[in-house]
Amino acid sequence: MKAIIVTDQAAGTAGMQLTERPEPEAGINDVVVQVHASGFTWDELTWPSTWTDRQGNDRTPSIPGHELAGVVTALGYGTTGLSVGQRVFGVTDWYRNGTLTEYVAVEARNLAPLPGDVDFTVGASLPMPGLTAWQGLFEHGHLRAGQSVLVHGAAGVVGSMATQLAREHGAYVIGTGRAAHRQMALDFGAQEFVDLESDALEDVGGVDLVFDVFGGGIARRSAGLIRAGGTLVTIAGPIDARPANGMTVDFVVEPDRAQLREIVQRVRDGRLRTHIGNIAMLDDAVATFNGTKRHHGKTIIRVRP
């Protein structure tokens, strides 16, 4: 099967190669999925899991891309709830080969059914940003209607999902980003926008929740905005920023079939919009990832036309 592999961590996307790899087999709890569309997070090649297994051993050549939409072609033992021929979407394990390929073995629990009226391209764009936003806002941030939330990177892939979900939930949403992102963040539902390049973050006043995608100094300054009992949730890794009278949670998104169903239902209802940037075919993917034009939104690689 065709697959994009990486072997050289220092090379970044320039080290991606389109090559032939053996088709995977379904292990215990796995299904094999024929990938129709694959989602790639722009900084995946900096994640340790792209290069090593859980023991820290080199696992290259590895196949990046950890979101997919496709059709189940084989079932291993214990693949509750899925059947051969079913349309599915979801995430693959960070420490296993991913989805920039024709077939992938993935644990059944990482997948949910993809309704027939949702395109594979849209399906592949939802899992990471959808689950990350959902878990950050509701599981870790315990967001309630009427509360205020500061969403960093509100015009970005994850931030635009968080903005929409928080707004639908009845929260007051303040988005942040670069000056050029203002209109996009407002279009996704932010009620206010802070241009991090020229506005003073401190002028926001108090918020109940911060949804952080940056870490570093921005997360530290945001901690100071959080009201008593509030939470700083970050997806940027462990940070030392703490609200004076609240807590900080950093987390890595987890697969969740029920949440995937909720997310895709909102897309079907027109309540949630995905943020897709560039779409390319697998044969053109390496050139796309190394192109000079900067695309905002999620890059989706179509594996089947």
Ligand X SMILES: NC(=O)c1ccc[n+]([C@@H]2O[C@H](COP(=O)([O-])OP(=O)(O)OC[C@H]3O[C@@H](n4cnc5c(N)ncnc54)[C@H](OP(=O)(O)O)[C@@H]3O)[C@@H](O)[C@H]2O)c1
- The rounded distance, in Å, linking the Cα atoms of 96 and 53 is 8
Contact 32, 105 (CB under 8 A): yes
DSSP assignment letter at 24: P
Residue span binding ligand X (CB under 6 A) among the ranges 38-46, 79-87, 142-150, 265-273: 38-46
Q: Binding ligand X by CB under 6 A: which of 127, 177, 189, 255?
A: 177
DSSP assignment letter at 22: P
Strands 207-212 and 148-151, by their bridges, are parallel
Residue 54 engages ligand X in binding (rule: CB under 6 A): no
- Per-state percent for the chain, helix, strand, coil, to nearest 5: 30, 30, 40
CA terminus-to-terminus distance, the chain: 16
Q: Residue 23 — φ and ψ, nearest 5°?
A: -70, 140
Residue span binding ligand X (CB under 6 A) among the ranges 15-23, 39-47, 164-172, 266-274: 39-47
Q: Which is nearer to ligand X, 21 or 296 (CB)?
A: 296
Helix (H) or strand (E) run with residue 216 in it: helix 216-223
Residue span binding ligand X (CB under 6 A) among the ranges 41-49, 78-86, 140-148, 240-248: 41-49
Would you call the peptide bond into 61 cis, given omega within 30 degrees of 0 as the criterion?
yes
Question: CB burial class (10 A; 0-12, 13-18, 19+) of residue 73?
Answer: middle
| Alpha-carbon distances, residue 18 vs 91, 122, 281, 284 (angstroms) | 21, 24, 12, 9
Residue span binding ligand X (CB under 6 A) among the ranges 35-43, 56-64, 81-89, 107-115: 35-43
Q: Residue 113 is which amino acid? A: P
**Residue, CB closest to ligand X:** 156
DSSP assignment letter at 156: S
Contact 13, 19 (CB under 8 A): no
Residue 66 engages ligand X in binding (rule: CB under 6 A): no
Q: Binding ligand X by CB under 6 A: which of 196, 201, 286, 303?
A: 196
Residue 213 engages ligand X in binding (rule: CB under 6 A): yes
In angstroms, give the least distance from the CB of 111 to ligand X: 18
Binding mask 248-277 for ligand X (x = CB under 6 A): ----xx------------------------
Q: Which is nearer to ligand X, 206 or 216 (CB)?
A: 216
Residues 140-159 that bind ligand X (CB under 6 A): 153, 155-159
Residue 132 engages ligand X in binding (rule: CB under 6 A): yes
In angstroms, give the least distance from the CB of 298 to ligand X: 7
Q: Which of 38, 41, 31 is nearest to 2 (CA)?
A: 38
Q: Binding ligand X by CB under 6 A: which of 69, 104, 128, 285?
A: 128
In angstroms, give the least distance from the CB of 1 to ligand X: 27
Q: Which is nearer to ligand X, 38 or 79 (CB)?
A: 38
Contact 73, 37 (CB under 8 A): no
Q: Binding ligand X by CB under 6 A: which of 4, 235, 264, 285?
A: 235
DSSP assignment letter at 136: I
Q: Binding ligand X by CB under 6 A: which of 22, 28, 43, 270?
A: 43
Q: Binding ligand X by CB under 6 A: which of 5, 36, 37, 41?
A: 41
Residues near ligand X, by CB under 6 A? 41-43, 128, 132, 153, 155-159, 177-178, 181, 196, 213, 235, 252-253, 296
